[in-house]
Amino acid sequence: MKLLTTIAAVLISISAFSQDYVEYNEGNFSRKGEILTMEQVDALALRYNIGKVNFRRGNKWHRMKMNGNLRHQNNILNLLVGTVSGCSGCYGVLLGAALTNGIMGLEGKSEEGFPIAVAGAGLCAVSYSAFSSIAVTKNRCLIKRDKEFKILADKINQAIVLEGPSAQPSNPYIH
């Protein structure tokens, strides 16, 4: 039994290391020990038709880390959008609940309040999304960049596994 387990472990490790997996670590993509450029990573994403949004978002967070003015503009815009949508969303939820329950001096219950409450809840979700995009420090930008790029590397690796080891890249510049 131990022999079968050992053989299975060896076969799994050989098949895992024979794949051309992409690894991401602290701002660098690598494949078979070689560092990939961002152009090569973009070409891989285009080749497998996956992760374009993650690549774009990761680059956005990287640019914000490098450019303090861009980061401050993003923070101010998201703060304004979050505040306005949060306040109007809370008002919409309260107004919708009041209309639905007939509190506003209307006789009986009104069905007009439910869509208003749903719209208010949607604005609250927009508010949360805007506030979560605020990155006060450079370190926060790096955390968000690394999150997006790790997701991209995972998507590329899943596409590599699905394609199989026998497939050759159609682009000669991708190694």
Which residue range forms the structural domain that includes residue 73?
25-58+68-159
Q: What is the pLDDT of residue 175?
A: 45
Q: Look at 7-11, 142-146, 157-161, 163-167 and tell me which has the smallest mean pLDDT.
A: 7-11
Q: Is 4 contained in some domain?
A: no
pLDDT tens digits for 2-15? Answer: 666 666 555 555 45
Q: Is 99 in contact with 113 (CB distance < 8 Å)?
A: yes
**Considering the domain boundaries, does residue 7 fall inside one?**
no
Look over the chain and give the mean of its residue pLDDT values, rounded to a whole number: 78
pLDDT tens for each residue of 52-87: 999 999 999 889 888 888 888 888 888 888 888 877
Q: Report how far apart, in Å, the C-alpha atoms of 29 and of each of 37, 142, 145, 158 are.
A: 7, 15, 13, 16
Q: Name the least confident of 92-96, 110-114, 124-128.
A: 110-114
pLDDT at 115: 80
Which helix (H) or strand (E) segment holds residue 76: the answer is helix 68-101
Q: Residue 126: CB partners within 8 Å, gap ≥ 6?
A: 81, 82, 85, 89
pLDDT (0 to 100) of residue 41: 92
pLDDT category at 165 given cuts 50, 70, 90 is low
Could you tell me which residues come within 8 angstroms of residue 61 by beta carbon, excluding any fewer than 6 positions away? Answer: 135, 141, 142, 144, 145, 148
Both structure tokens of 98:
């009041």
How is residue 29 annotated by DSSP? E
Q: What is the pLDDT of residue 24?
A: 92
- Residue 79 covered by a domain: yes
pTM for the structure as a whole: 0.61
- Total domains present in the chain: 1
Within a domain: 73: yes
Provide mean pLDDT across the span 81-110.
Answer: 72
On whether residue 166 sits in a domain, the answer given is no
pLDDT in tens, 118-146: 888 887 887 877 777 777 788 888 888 99
Is 15 a domain residue? no
Q: How many H-runs (helices) and E-runs (strands) does the chain carry?
A: 6, 3
Average pLDDT, integer, range 94-117: 68
Instruction: Tell me: pLDDT of 25 over 50.
Output: yes
Residues 6+ apart with CB under 8 A from 88: 120, 123
Question: What pLDDT score was predicted for residue 136?
Answer: 74
